Each structure stands twice: as structure tokens, then as C-alpha cells.
């Protein structure tokens, strides 16, 4: 009987395949559906200017959602990303305006490139704090990142006493000008933030598919015990995903501050929820082990297009929230239905064959 | 025994099959349970006994087939429904809440309440005491379950099932942790229940026990029912024949190669138990290249724990290990694998496989660094290694990109073995390598073990199957209660000696199991 299961599952792949294929491609179908719907319902929706504007909105959520995807694949969650966005924005703003006062009569000013690196380092560092809490001190990811959410937000508010750092143009004599490039600059007609998104997304997708680390991320989420016995350094993998999530959040903090040319300490509130929604919509399983970067990006686009399109149609923001919630719930319900259908088909065939 | 009178059938399974992802646990089983009698169910490990019972008790739902209770078709979606229809079960793995008292456990989900829906603990404890009295267990109903010995916990589990006033009572290996005296008391209780018309389904490995108390016997092999008889018509020989079947186990023959130098030595391995005492108690052993050292022992003897210590899975374990004469200082699993140790864990699903990943990803999980240039996994190299393992181990899979959970148990086990082999080990630790896989796959696994030992690997394998340990090992170590209680060369090992050594430190010697020879 040993050869039967193999045959059975091959058969099940072709059996009832239409429904299964439709279910598997649901995120794509949703994306195409919202595109078609809004191009008919909202005037100017398909104009180049609008599409670029929308992608800039989507990009912010997409960064966070990519970091979130890796975290969720390992079976964790990162609630602190929104606060990291806020704090990193404040760090960048502070450095542009004030530099670092060495307390001996000198103040160091950094150029924009250095400021970006320092800000990214701060994001990674906060991610590392999350990781250490989870791996070394055995705090549940939900609690650890919830704590860091509050701490980081509090620090962001403390850094300016709750005020906004305005007008981040910098001073030419200090070499701090050019901060606006990230948010407003363009390369080959596309906004810089989109290019960064493309680079990070390709990198993340490559990492997930072609590197041992990527394989280990999936293994840890699929079965942590088996991964550990196979010699996977589970703690290092977890450290990495939270640090990567922090890195993505820092990018978003930089871009937002740069777009607004100002840093506001409340920036990024509830961003973590949008990121989770995009990941889940893109097929990431909250129980770990499943998910793709591509799916998450598509998920982020569905959510982003949905909210921008509804705004253009003049739908009230209260209704927008209701609709967004329903879309997420439907996505997960379909996901579960697909899993059940698939496993039932396989099991029934094995039972009959065996 | 009044098995001469035909008892009424109370429950009937018709063509019941149960499939888990990857394994067919029960295949088209037809099984009858008779009133006022002890219906015995017997079969080897992994034959599907427990699954069949879980289906009757409503814990699992059959994939196909019907259940008839007193002629009426029923389907239980939970054990609660089965209980409400008068079916109770004593589970093999204890289903008790350690943080609750004995009385609270016995009345869990059926709490006795007063007018205001407040739990009447005094009444619960009084009634619980009655049941415990019958079992002469000396357990107070207000004790916490976690403070009881494992045998006492088993008695609580039995008391709980008896208190259900069930018409059908299923007992899955109820005596596995009981002392001889406790077993006698249990048999008395069973006789009482039988007299009052309860249908008892009794599962055990101890053939003597079965022949003593059984009225009807059903034998399962590889998920199929191979024999159903009245107990008075059968003898041990018949049972064993039905259990093992015509296709007697195919233990690849020894090829007479001579083991070489010492490759592995463990000295003074100790692992403290959370509840006090030692789970592994000062164990030392050595292994030569090309040698298969079988570690025989009953459940809970500390075999798996010893393997865990060797692999560095417990930070608080003490003792030293040497590979090829060199002390292994690395304390974590990752680096011990690099030093040449590999473990095939006992629990395939929980520890062996990442079930949602593909066959290929599982195979290479432990050895990815072999296929990496800089940081890129070379797809060609990886596929080549996967294809080689699939061929060498005869893994039956259409496409290695398939999810590993779609394979049968035996092929899943081969994937776990392949994963370990790809790390290029010097010493292979195999924990119950033949558990829950079918006959053909077992033969493949045993053949692979022989081949690996011929290639110079040292193999340590743990098993609770006497035949297996006798047939495959060059030397046999016996563990009991965390201690090494015997070390035999194959030439001098006898089943009686192994069984005796495996019972040391366990109080009364358990019944010796009869085993077939061919």
C-alpha cells in the first residue's frame, strides 16, 4: 500500500481542481476585482498620477507587511512596528535638526546618508530587543512586542515632549540638506520609495526561497521542535525575523518623515494592524509555516487600493473600516475552506484506495 | 467464564476506515462488542487498536464506515456525545488534569452542583471516595492528581471511567503502569462490571492477562482485523499467528562483518527529572564502527531521554561523550550534528518532520549548508542529493516537491532517516525506528540499518520490541528506570534475560510476554 498515498494526492490535485485553483488564487482575483471595480466606479482612478500616489501609500504598508510576514511565518507576531515607525521618524528628525551634542561644546551633524543608516540601526536594535525578550527571556511574542509598542511610543513622545519636529530641510553649511529625497525624489519617473520597495521585496523573496535562513524560517514555524533537532538555530532565526521587521519599520519611519518634511511622534499608530491584515490577506497563516512575500505584497495592494478607491468614491471612512474588516474575514474563511477541502479530498482518496 | 453463552452484540463497527494525513490507521474494520463480556483487542504497536477505540469513544471520527449502537446508526462528533450514550474510555495516555484534585477529575464536565449552580465539592469527594474504595487504591479524593504516582493516576482514570455508569467501557492498556496487586484488584472490578452487564473492551499487550480475563478476542494487524474468535477456542499460538501473520517479519540478515574501532562513548550520563530523581541514571556505554547496539526497555525506561542527552537537547544533563576518542565539548544540538551525531526521533510528527514543508525541504533541512555557495542554495546540488536519497532509501514519492504529510508513515520515516543521513553522521541514534509503519517499510528500514552498519556507521537503536532487538543488534543494552541494567552480546542474550533486566527496579516482575519464533 505504500505507493498509494503518492498516487492519491497527485490525483486529488487534478480532482476538483477548478474550485481549489480559484481558492488558491483568491488574493490575485481580489486584486483584479478591486482594480476593475474602481476603474469603473471612480473617475480618474486609472490616471498615472493617481496610480503613483496609490503605490506610495501602499508601499508604506507593504514594507511593514513584509517584515510581519517573516515574523508570522515563524509563528510569532510583532505589534511594535507602528511604534518603531514613530520612534525612527523622531530619531531622523532629531538628527537633522539638532545633531548629537557631545556636551563639550561640540555638536556632530550627520549628512542625510548617515542619518538614514543610524535610523535603520535604531529600528534593527529595537527589533533585537523584541527578539531577545522572546528567545532569551521566553516572553510570548504578543506580550513582548506589546510592551515594546508602549515603550517605543513613549520614547518617541519623550524625545520632543510630544511636539512635532518641523521643517526638516536642514542647513547647507552643516551638510544636513536633502532629507526630502526619500519621500519626494524620483528615479526614472517612479518615486524613490517604490524603488526601495522593489529592492527590499526582491531581497526578501530571494531570502525566503534560496537561502538556508529562509528555509529555516519556514521550518521553525512549521515545527519548532523538529527544526531544533535538525540543528536549526531556532533562536538566531527568531532574532533575525524581529530585527528584519524593525528594519522595515525604520524604512517606513524615514520615508514618512521625508515625505512630510516633519517628524510627528504619533506617526504609525495602528500601522501594525494594517501590516498583519496585508500578510493574512496574502495567504500567510497565523499558525506559522506558510506565507510568501509576493502574496503579502499583493495583499497590501488589495487593502491599499480598497481604501484609496473608497476615498475617491466618497465613501465615508466609517464604512471603509467595515469593508476592510469584512474583506479580511472573508479572506481567512476562504483560506480555511481551501485547506479543509484539500485535506478532505486527499484523505478520502487514501481511505478508498487503502 | 461463561463464554459458552452467546452474548448480545451491543455495538457494531461496519467497514470503518480511519486515515490520518500520511497513514491509514484502520482499514475497513468490522468489529463487534458484546454485552456482559470482556472483548479483548490485541495487536502489535501501531496496528490501529487505539485508533479503533478512539472512534468508538467519539474522540476520532471515522473517515469512512458506520457505527451501529444497538442496531441504530450513530455518529459521535465528540467524546461527550459518546459518554451520553453510555460509552466510557480509560485512555492509554492519561487524560487527567494535574492541577485539579482526584474528585474534581472524576467529575470533570459532570460536576455535582447545588441549587445555585455552585459545585458541591463535599458530595463529589464522598462519591469519589466510594469509587476509589472499590479500587482499594488508598487515594484520598482531595489529593492533587499531579502528586500521585503514575500507577495511582491510572487508577484514578479507571475510577473516572467506572463512575460514568457506562454500558460500554473501553480500557486501553489499563495495566501498563499498575503493580501486580493493583492488577488483581482491577480484574475484580472488571468481573463485577461484567456481571452487571457492562460490555468491556480491553486492550493489552500482555497475552497471559488477555487469556485470563477475555471472553472474545479480536486481532488487528496493520489496521486490518485478522481474526475474531471466542477466547476459549484460541491459544497463545493462534493469537501470535494472527498478530504477526504469514508475512513474518523480515529482519535483514546479518552479513557477518566485524565491528571496528570504538567510534562513540558515553560516560556517566545523568538527567534529573523535574519531579525529582533521575530520568537517566549514570548511564555509560560505548559503540564501535559498524556496530548496531540495541537498547531494549519498557516505556519510560529512559531510552529516549538518553538519546536526548547525547544530542544535547537538555542543558542540565551531565556526563561526557566522546566521538572517535575525542571529547565532545559542544553542548548544543546544531554543533553536535556537525560533530557527526544524528537522531531519528521517536515521534515522527512532533519531532521528526516539518509536515507542511515538501519532501525535498525536509530531507535537506539538517544539511542545507552542504548545498550553499556563499549564501545561495544551489538548486541543482540540492535536487541531486534529494534524488539520491529517494533512490537509496526507496522512498515512494511521485515528486519530491510534494508535502511530506501526503506520504504514508513508512515513507515519512524514510524521509526522517534520509534527513539524518544527509548530515553525514558517524553515529546514528534511532529511537523506535519501526514505530507505526507497515511491514514492507519496516523491512526497508531494517535493511537500511544493516547497510549503514556495513558502511561503517555506528548505530544505537532503542526499541521496546523484543524480536526486533534480538534480530538486529550486535550487542544489546537493557535499560530500566533510567539505569543501564544489562549488557549482552547477541550470542548470550536470551529473551528471558532481557525481560528480567528490563523489569529491574520496577517492583514486581511483570508478566513475561510470549513471543513467536520461526
Whether the predicted pLDDT of B427 surpasses 50: yes
Q: Classify strands A107-108 and A100-101 as parallel, antiparallel or unpaired.
A: antiparallel
Contact state of A230 with B419 under an 8 Å Cβ cutoff: yes
A218 contacts in B (CB within 8 Å)? 354, 357, 361
Predicted local confidence at residue B277, as pLDDT: 78
Q: Is the dihedral of CA B418, B420, B422, B426 positive or negative?
A: negative
Site of grid cell 463487534: B32
Could you tell me if A346 lies within 8 Å of chain B, comparing CB atoms? yes
pLDDT band at B250 (very low <50, low <70, confident <90, very high): low
CA distance B214 to B217: 7
Mean pLDDT within B219-227 = 83
Residue of B19, B304, B313, B421 for testing the chain A interface, max A β-carbons within 10 Å: B19
Average per-residue pLDDT for chain B: 83
Count CB atoms within 10 A of the CB of residue B87: 27
Question: Is residue A2 scored above 60 in pLDDT?
Answer: no
Average pLDDT over residues B197-214: 84
Answer whether B356 sits within 8 Å of A7, measured CB to CB.
no
* H/E run at residue B33: strand B23-34
CATH number of B261-340+425-518: 3.40.50.300
Q: Would the CB atoms of B441 and A226 count as touching at under 8 Å?
A: no
Q: Measure in Å the smallest separation between the Cα of B397 and chain A Cα atoms.
A: 6
Angle at B100 between CA B97 and CA B103, to 5 degrees: 105
Could you give the count of Cα atoms lying within 13 Å of B172 in the half-sphere of its Cβ?
Answer: 20
B9 Rama sector, left if φ>0, alpha if ψ -120 to 50, beta otherwise: beta
Contact B7, B168 (CB under 8 A): no
Task: State the Cα–Cα distance between residues B352 and B415, nearest whole angstrom.
Answer: 9
SS3 B184: helix
Residue among B39, B73, B80 at smallest CA distance from B58 = B80
Quote the DSSP letter at residue B110.
S
When pLDDT is cut at 50, 70 and 90, the band that residue A81 belongs to is very high
Q: Which residues sit opposite B71 in a β-bridge?
A: none
Angle in degrees, 0-180, between the axes of helices A293-312 and A192-210, rounded to the nearest 10: 150
B351/A226 touch (CB, cutoff 8 Å), yes or no: yes
Reported as a pLDDT band with limits 50, 70 and 90, residue A294 is: very high
Model confidence pLDDT, tens digit, residues B136-178: 777 888 888 888 877 788 888 888 888 888 889 998 888 777 7
* Chain A contact for B436 (CB, 8 A cutoff): no
Position A24 confidence tier, pLDDT thresholds 50, 70, 90 = confident
CATH code, A4-353: 1.10.3470
Closest residue of A to B363, CA-based? A230
Q: How confident is the model at residue B249 (pLDDT cuts 50, 70, 90)?
A: low
Scan residues 79-98 of A and list those with Cβ closer than 8 Å to B. none
Per-residue pLDDT for A11 more than 50? Answer: no
B70-107 pLDDT per residue, tens: 888 888 888 888 888 888 888 777 788 888 999 888 88
More confident residue, A18 or B128: B128
CA distance B352 to B360: 14
Model confidence pLDDT, tens digit, residues A105-156: 788 888 888 999 999 999 999 999 999 999 999 999 999 999 999 999 999 9
Q: Give the DSSP per-residue string, B213-262.
A: H-SEEEEEETTEEEEEEEGGG--HHHHHHHHH-SS----PPP--PPP-SE
Instruction: Tell whether the model's pLDDT for residue A5 goes beyond 60.
Output: no
Asked if A351 lies within 8 A of B438 by C-beta distance, the reply is no
Bigger pLDDT: A348 vs B133: B133
Chain A positions in Cβ-Cβ contact with residue B333 (cut-off 8 Å): 228-229, 231
Residue B252 has pLDDT above 80, yes or no: no
Chain A residue numbers with beta carbons less than 8 Å from the beta carbon of B313 are 228-229
pLDDT for B514 beyond 60: no
Complex prediction ipTM: 0.81
Query: H-type helices in B270-397, by residue range?
Result: 303-311, 333-338, 359-364, 379-392
- For chain B, the first-to-last Cα distance in angstroms comes to 32
Q: In whole angstroms, how far apart are CA A6 and each of B133, B384, B405?
A: 54, 20, 10
B377 close to A (CB below 8 A): yes
Using a CB-CB distance cutoff of 8 angstroms, which residues of chain B are in contact with residue A4? 408
CB contact under 8 A, B361 and A219: yes
Express as a percent the part of chain A with pLDDT over 90: 54
Of the partner residues B223, B334, B441, the one whose CB lies closest to the CB of residue A231: B334
Q: Strand, helix or coil at B20?
A: strand
Interval B2-13 mean pLDDT: 71
**Is the CB of B411 inside 8 Å of chain A's CB atoms?**
yes
**Cell numbers 473501553 label which residue?**
B170
Minimum Cα–Cα distance from A343: chain B residue: B21
Same CATH topology for B9-244 and B261-340+425-518?
Answer: yes
Q: What is the rounded average pLDDT of the residues B192-211?
A: 84
Partner A contacted by B63 (CB < 8 A) = yes
Q: For residues A118 and A120, what is the distance between their CA atoms, to the nearest angstrom?
A: 5
Cell triple for B371: 548545498
Question: Could you tell me which CATH class the domain B9-244 is placed in?
Answer: alpha beta
pLDDT given at position A243: 97
Average pLDDT over chain A reads 87
The answer to whether residues A69 and A282 touch, using CB atoms and an 8 Å cutoff, is yes
Domain boundaries, chain B: 9-244, 261-340+425-518, 353-424
Tens-place pLDDT, residues A233-253: 999 999 999 999 999 999 999
- The Cα A262–Cα A281 span in angstroms is 32
**DSSP assigned state of B346:** S
Determine phi and psi for B351, rounding to 5 degrees.
-125, -15
Domain ranges for chain A: 4-353
3-state helix/strand/coil string of chain A? CCCHHHHHHHHHHHCCHHHHHHHHCHHHHHHHHHHHHHHHHCCCCCCHHHHHHHHHHHHHHHHHHHHHHHHHHCCCCCCCHHHHHHHHHHHHHHHHHHCEECCCCCEECCCHHHHHHHHHHHHHHHHHHHHHHHHCCCCCHHHHHHHHHHHHHHHHHHHHCCCCECCCCCCHHHCCCCCCHHHHCEECCEEHHHHHHHHHHHHHHHHHHHCHHHHHHHHHHHCHHHHHHCCCCHHHHHHHHHHHHHHHHHHHHHHHHHHHCCECCCCCCCHHHHHHHHHHHCCCCCCCCCCCHHHHHHHHHHHHHHHHHHHHCCCCHHHHHHHHHHHHHHHHHHHHHHHHHHHHHHHHHHHHHC
- Mutation site, A4, A229, A289, A350, interface B, largest B CB count within 10 A: A229
Output DSSP code: residue B350: I
Chain B contacts of A352, Cβ < 8 Å?
Answer: 64
Q: pLDDT-derived band of residue A277, with 50, 70 and 90 as boundaries?
A: very high
What φ, ψ does residue B261 adopt, rounded to 5°? Answer: -65, 165
Q: Does A226 touch chain B (CB under 8 A)?
A: yes
- How distant is the Cα of B341 from the closest Cα of chain A, in angstroms? 11
CB contact (8 A) between residue B19 and residue A354: yes
What pLDDT sits at residue B21?
A: 65
Which range has the worst mean pLDDT, B72-76, B121-125, B239-243, B422-426?
Answer: B239-243
Q: What pLDDT sits at residue A127? A: 97
Q: Is A222 in Cβ contact with B351 (below 8 Å)?
A: no
Q: Would the pLDDT of B425 be above 70? A: yes
Residue pair B139/B156 in contact (Cβ under 8 Å)? The answer is yes
Amino acid at each position: 500500500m505504500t505507493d498509494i498515498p503518492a498516487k492519491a494526492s497527485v490525483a486529488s490535485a487534478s480532482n476538483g481542481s477548478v474550485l481549489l485553483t480559484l481558492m488558491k488564487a483568491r488574493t490575485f482575483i481580489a486584486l483584479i476585482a478591486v482594480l476593475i471595480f474602481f476603474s469603473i466606479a471612480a473617475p480618474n482612478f486609472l490616471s498615472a498620477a493617481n496610480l503613483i500616489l496609490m503605490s506610495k501609500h501602499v508601499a508604506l504598508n507593504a514594507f511593514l507587511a513584509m517584515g510581519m510576514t517573516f515574523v508570522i511565518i515563524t509563528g510569532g507576531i510583532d505589534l511594535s512596528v507602528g511604534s518603531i515607525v514613530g520612534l525612527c521618524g523622531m530619531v531622523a528628525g532629531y538628527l537633522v535638526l539638532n545633531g548629537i551634542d557631545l556636551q563639550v561644546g561640540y555638536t556632530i551633524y550627520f549628512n542625510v546618508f548617515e542619518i538614514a543608516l543610524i535610523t535603520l540601526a535604531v529600528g534593527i536594535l529595537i527589533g533585537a530587543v523584541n527578539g531577545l525578550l522572546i528567545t532569551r527571556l521566553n516572553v510570548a511574542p504578543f506580550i513582548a512586542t506589546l510592551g515594546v509598542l508602549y515603550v517605543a511610543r513613549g520614547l518617541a513622545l519623550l524625545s520632543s515632549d510630544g511636539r512635532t519636529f518641523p521643517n526638516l530641510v536642514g542647513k547647507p553649511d552643516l551638510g544636513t540638506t536633502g532629507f526630502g529625497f526619500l519621500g519626494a525624489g524620483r528615479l526614472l519617473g517612479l518615486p524613490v520609495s517604490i524603488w526601495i520597495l522593489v529592492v527590499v521585496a526582491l531581497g526578501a523573496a530571494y531570502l525566503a526561497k534560496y537561502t538556508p535562513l529562509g528555509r529555516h524560517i519556514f521550518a521553525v514555524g512549521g515545527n519548532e521542535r523538529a527544526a531544533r533537532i535538525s540543528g536549526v538555530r531556532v533562536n538566531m532565526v527568531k532574532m533575525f525575523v524581529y530585527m528584519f521587521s524593525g528594519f522595515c519599520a525604520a524604512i517606513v519611519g524615514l520615508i514618512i518623515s521625508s515625505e512630510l518634511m516633519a517628524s510627528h511622534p504619533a506617526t504609525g499608530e495602528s500601522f501594525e494592524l494594517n501590516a498583519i491584515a496585508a500578510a493574512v490577506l496574502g495567504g500567510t497563516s497565523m499558525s506559522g509555516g506558510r506565507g510568501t512575500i509576493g502574496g503579502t505584497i499583493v495583499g497590501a495592494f488589495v487593502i491599499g487600493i480598497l481604501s484609496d478607491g473608497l476615498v475617491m468614491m466618497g465613501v465615508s471612512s466609517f464604512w471603509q473600516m467595515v469593508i476592510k474588516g469584512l474583506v479580511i474575514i472573508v479572506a481567512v474563511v476562504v483560506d480555511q475552506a481551501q485547506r479543509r477541502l484539500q485535506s478532505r479530498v486527499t484523505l478520502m482518496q487514501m481511505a478508498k484506495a487503502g | 467464564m461463561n463464554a459458552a453463552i452467546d452474548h448480545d452484540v451491543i455495538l457494531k463497527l461496519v467497514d470503518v476506515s480511519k486515515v490520518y494525513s500520511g497513514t491509514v490507521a484502520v482499514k475497513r474494520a468490522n468489529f463487534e462488542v458484546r454485552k456482559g463480556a470482556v472483548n479483548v483487542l490485541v495487536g502489535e504497536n501501531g496496528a490501529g487498536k487505539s485508533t479503533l477505540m478512539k472512534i468508538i469513544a467519539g474522540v476520532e471520527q471515522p473517515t469512512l464506515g458506520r457505527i451501529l449502537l444497538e442496531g441504530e446508526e450513530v455518529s459521535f462528533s465528540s467524546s461527550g456525545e459518546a459518554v451520553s450514550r453510555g460509552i466510557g474510555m480509560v485512555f492509554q495516555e492519561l487524560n487527567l488534569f494535574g492541577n485539579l484534585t482526584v474528585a474534581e477529575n472524576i467529575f470533570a464536565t459532570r460536576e455535582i452542583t447545588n441549587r445555585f449552580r455552585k459545585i458541591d465539592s463535599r458530595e463529589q469527594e464522598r462519591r469519589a471516595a466510594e469509587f476509589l474504595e472499590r479500587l482499594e487504591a488508598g487515594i484520598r479524593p482531595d489529593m492533587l492528581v499531579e502528586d500521585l504516582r503514575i500507577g495511582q493516576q491510572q487508577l484514578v482514570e479507571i475510577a473516572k471511567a467506572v463512575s460514568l455508569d457506562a454500558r460500554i467501557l473501553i480500557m486501553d492498556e489499563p495495566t501498563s503502569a499498575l503493580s501486580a496487586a493493583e492488577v488483581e484488584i482491577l480484574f475484580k472490578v472488571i468481573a463485577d462490571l461484567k456481571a452487571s452487564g457492562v460490555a468491556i473492551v480491553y486492550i493489552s499487550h500482555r497475552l497471559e492477562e488477555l487469556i485470563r480475563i477475555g471472553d472474545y478476542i479480536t486481532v488487528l494487524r496493520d489496521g486490518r482485523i485478522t481474526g475474531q474468535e471466542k477466547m476459549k477456542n484460541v491459544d497463545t499460538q493462534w493469537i501470535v499467528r494472527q498478530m504477526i501473520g504469514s508475512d513474518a517479519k523480515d529482519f535483514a540478515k546479518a552479513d557477518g562483518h566485524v565491528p571496528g574501532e570504538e567510534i562513540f562513548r558515553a560516560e556517566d550520563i545523568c538527567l534529573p527529572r523535574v519531579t525529582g530523581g533521575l530520568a537517566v541514571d549514570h548511564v555509560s556505554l560505548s559503540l564501535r564502527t559498524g556496530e548496531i547496539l540495541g537498547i531494549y526497555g519498557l516505556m519510560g525506561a529512559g531510552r529516549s531521554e538518553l538519546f536526548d542527552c547525547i544530542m544535547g537537547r537538555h542543558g542540565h544533563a551531565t556526563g561526557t561523550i566522546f566521538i572517535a576518542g575525542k571529547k565532545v565539548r559542544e553542548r548544543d544540538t546544531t554543533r553536535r550534528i556537525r560533530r557527526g551525531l544524528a537522531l531519528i526521533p521517536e515521534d515522527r510528527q512532533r519531532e521528526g518532520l516539518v509536515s507542511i514543508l515538501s519532501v525535498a525541504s525536509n530531507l535537506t533541512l539538517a544539511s542545507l549548508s552542504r548545498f550553499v555557495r556563499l549564501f545561495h542554495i544551489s538548486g541543482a546540488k540540492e535536487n541531486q542529493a534529494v534524488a539520491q536519497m529517494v533512490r537509496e532509501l526507496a522512498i515512494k514519492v511521485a515528486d519530491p516537491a510534494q508535502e511530506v504529510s501526503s506520504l504514508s508513515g513508512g515513507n515519512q520515516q524514510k524521509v526522517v532517516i534520509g534527513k539524518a543521513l544527509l548530515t553525514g553522521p558517524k553515529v546514528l541514534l534511532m529511537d523506535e525506528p519501526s514505530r507505526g509503519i507497515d511491514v514492507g517499510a519496516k523491512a526497508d528500514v531494517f535493511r537500511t540499518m544493516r547497510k549503514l552498519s556495513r558502511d561503517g556507521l555506528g548505530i544505537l537503536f532503542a526499541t521496546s520490541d523484543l524480536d526486533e532487538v534480538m534480530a538486529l543488534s550486535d550487542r544489546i543494552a537493557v535499560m530500566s528506570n533510567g539505569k543501564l541494567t544489562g549488557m549482552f552480546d547477541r550470542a548470550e542474550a536470551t529473551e528471558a534475560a532481557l525481560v528480567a533486566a528490563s523489569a529491574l527496579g520496577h517492583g514486581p516482575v511483570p508478566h513475561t510476554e510470549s513471543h513467536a519464533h520461526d
